[in-house]
Structure 1
C-alpha cells in the first residue's frame, strides 16, 4: 500500500524521496510576526503560522533528504533572529 508523499526522479532517473517536516519554534517576545515573515521567505518553507500552545510558530518544510533537513536547520532556521528553540517532527505519511 502506497501512502501519501512525493517521489521525485533525479536527472539520472534515480528515485528521490522528499522529506517533509513540521518545525515547532519558540520565539523571543515580540518577534513572532517577524519570524513568521522570515520563515515564509525561505523556499523550503511551504507554510508558517503563529500558533497557541508551548510553541509560538509552526512551519511545514520540504527538503530532499534528512541531510538536507539537518543542513537547513543548522544553516538557515537557527540563524533567524528571534528564534530561541526548535523541535522538529518528520512527517511519516
Structure 2
C-alpha cells in the first residue's frame, strides 16, 4: 500500500468545484480545504506507486483549474 498527501493549488474561485471532483476519485481517502500556500490537501491510498502517479498526474492535475500539486509520499521509519 502506498500512502501520500497531495497538496493542491487552484485558480481563484474554483476551490469548491475542484474539492468535489477530487473527493470522488478512487484512492482518495480524505480531502480538506485549507488556508495558506495550498488550497486543498488530500490523503491518497493506493496499491502501487504507478497508481499514485496516475492519480496525481493523470487525474488531479487533469482537472481544469488545478494550477499545481505537491506530493508527499509517506515513508515508514522504524
Deviation, structure 1 residue 19:
0.3
Q: CA RMSD in A?
A: 1.0
Q: C-alpha offsets along residues 5-63 of structure 1, whole Å, 9 cap, x if unaligned?
A: xxxxxxxxxxxxx1010000000000001111001111211111110111010010111
Partner of 2:7: 24
Give the SS at the match of 1:76: helix
Structure showing greater Rg: 1
Structure 2: give runs of 5+ residues left out of the alignment. Answer: none
Match of 1:3 in 2: none
Query: Runs of 4+ in structure 1 displaced over 3 angstroms?
Result: none
Structure 2 CA distance for aligned equivalents of residues 42 and 68 of structure 1: 12
What CA distance in whole angstroms lies between the structure 2 residues aligned with 1:38 and 1:30? 14
Equivalent residues, number: 76
- Structure with the larger RCO, 1 or 2 (CA within 8 Å, 6+ apart): 2
**SS in structure 2 at match of 1:89:** strand
TM-score when normalising by structure 1: 0.77
User: What TM-score, normalized by structure 2, do the two folds share?
Assistant: 0.90
Structure 1 unmatched ranges of 5 or more: 1-17
CA distance in 2, matches of 1:24, 1:75: 15
